Amino acid sequence: MPLFTLELKIALNKSLDNFDITLIDLAGNPPLNILFASSEATPLIKTGGLADVAGSLPAALRTSGHDCRLVLPAYPQAMEHADDLQQVAELDIPGYLGKVRLLSGFSGPHGVPLYLVDAPYFFDREGNPYLTPEGYNWEDNANRFGLFCKTIVEIGLNNARLDWKPDLVHANDWQTGLVPALLSRHTDRPATVFTIHNLAYQGLFDLETFDHLHLPAELWSPEGLEFHSQLSFIKGGIAFADRITTVSPTYAEEVQTPAFGYGLEGLLQHRSHNFSGILNGIDYHEWDPASDPNTAAPFTADSFEKKAENKLALQQEFGLPEDEHIQLFGYIGRLVEQKGVDLILQILPGIMDSGAQVVLLGSGNPELEQALKKISSKYHSRVGVYIGYDEGLAHRIEAGCDCFLMPSRFEPCGLNQIYSLRYGTIPIVRRTGGLADTVVDVNPHTLADGSATGFLFDNADGAGLWGAVERAIDFYHRPEVEWCILATTGMRQDLSWETSAKHYLDLYQDAIISPFSPSV
């Protein structure tokens, strides 16, 4: 139930029959109207972790009693998966020929209120939100997401004439980075929060694009959107938002250094008083081993022995020998250098020599795809590979594996290690970003105090990863009860969105009370 109570405000100069009823939370704050802006969100459309966040955090905020609404471009997939869509406004957006329709509906099992920005010329396309079917960036991405940002601004200023106006706009990643910059120029504006999910993707374009987007001339400056003579969408969020966040405390520290800041570390240091890291959570309704419809057998921390049924089913699905005593490693994610897939390739011979098995799900670099296919074909009794993405299979891998490999070179937050903890699958991760914030390394001290949940390593190379994997293999062959304790310790942690949502709500209130005043 939402943690709200009723406050009765009685006008003393009128009769006691005239009074206002205002809903306030237990901290004395009224519920907020929050517009959550994202370029993707589950279950509408997904390419990565941003979609999971945008699909879950608004639902958690609504559970807390706040009116959080989601806004996305009207991609064909989003139109298909949304519920009860109807047009609620038509807008004239500079630079777009024709009317932009604003559609209203609902998203997902939680019924989160949804707005879709319907500009067919920009969004009614095959492919994913950012790439052509051939895997290249859409050449007009700046125009596409520039239009998206301008429409969000119109909603924020209530120029769409809806019966609802946000107190705060929460923008996410470069695709919405212009929103805080454009809103900052208005006095009667909602507060803004901007979240960096991955600073490696910045939305960089040339000066001609800045002019073509009809952006205010004063925003082209080193204090504004200009970044080494280029237009930077993400800088708009960092330089102008009332508050900036990223998706884990460790990543918030990392991006303020040259190694992870991509040239923006100085600006982030400058705004450090308004910059914080809030760890992502997961949707405990969608990711619940006790009731997951995608898996072979439900289990909990108190019935951990039933997890073995999921292993046997997963081995059968990949055509591997079925034996619950064979240690099974898993990987889910993009097949790219950032994720350390090349490191996994380096240590696969060692894993196979130990007698263990590996299953991998993902797509990405064609060379990595081909290398995994070749190994799977040659060692079909040890390695199973699925090129592509299948949400149900992702759940079954988390439920069936003993260990999860996540050797990322950098990882702002990461979700799969959190899913793994939830499903009693021991994560093996590099000590970086959100991986360092969510996994506690196995060592004599953490085993003694009962806090250990996984295996960490430091150096982003095959030797570092193999050292952690070798420790996991050795630990797996210790008495079975010790592995059970390690796995169920992770399962009993609270990594739900409800916890993270409370931190966001505190930040929202702070942004509303003490807005930032940019110099531009």
pLDDT (0 to 100) of residue 18: 38
In the chain, the amino acid numbered 284 is: Y
C-beta separation of 276 from 507 below 8 A: yes
**Tally of CA atoms within 13 A in the half-sphere of 387 that contains its CB:** 14
Q: State which H helix or E strand residue 193 sits in.
A: strand 191-196
For 43-68, what is each residue's pLDDT tens digit? 999 988 899 999 999 999 999 999 99
What 3-state DSSP class applies to 109?
A: coil
Average pLDDT, the chain: 92
User: Which residues are paired to 91 by β-bridges?
Assistant: 100
Nearest to 280 by CA among 315, 245, 254, 308: 245
Ligand-binding annotation for 378, yes or no, is no
C-beta separation of 107 from 80 below 8 A: no
C-beta separation of 24 from 30 below 8 A: yes
pLDDT (0 to 100) of residue 118: 97
Whole-number Å distance between alpha carbons of 520 and 518: 6
Least confident range of 120-134, 141-155, 300-314, 410-424: 120-134
Nearest to 400 by CA among 476, 308, 281: 308
Least confident range of 5-9, 252-256, 270-274, 285-289: 5-9
Whole-number Å distance between alpha carbons of 465 and 442: 15
What does the radius of gyration of the chain's CA atoms come to, in whole angstroms?
24
What 3-state DSSP class applies to 468?
A: helix
C-beta separation of 420 from 399 below 8 A: no
Query: pLDDT category, 28, cuts 50, 70, 90?
Result: low
Biggest alpha carbon–alpha carbon distance for the chain: 86
| C-beta neighbour count of 399 within 10 angstroms | 30
Give me the domains of the chain, ranges plus CATH numbers.
1-28 (no CATH), 31-282+499-513 (3.40.50.2000), 301-495 (3.40.50.2000)
Nearest to 93 by CA among 76, 114, 73: 73
For 164-209, what is each residue's pLDDT tens digit? 999 999 999 999 999 999 999 999 999 999 999 999 999 999 999 9
Whole-number Å distance between alpha carbons of 286 and 263: 37
pLDDT (0 to 100) of residue 1: 34
Tokens 């997902």 belong to residue:
108
| Residue 293 pLDDT exceeds 70 | yes
Q: 371-377: list long-range contacts, CB under 8 Å, 24+ apart.
A: 371/345, 372/335, 372/341, 372/345, 375/345, 375/348
User: Which residues are paired to 245 by β-bridges?
Assistant: 195, 276
Q: State which H helix or E strand residue 72 sits in.
A: strand 67-73
For 377-423, what is each residue's pLDDT tens digit? 999 999 999 998 899 999 999 999 999 999 999 999 999 999 999 99
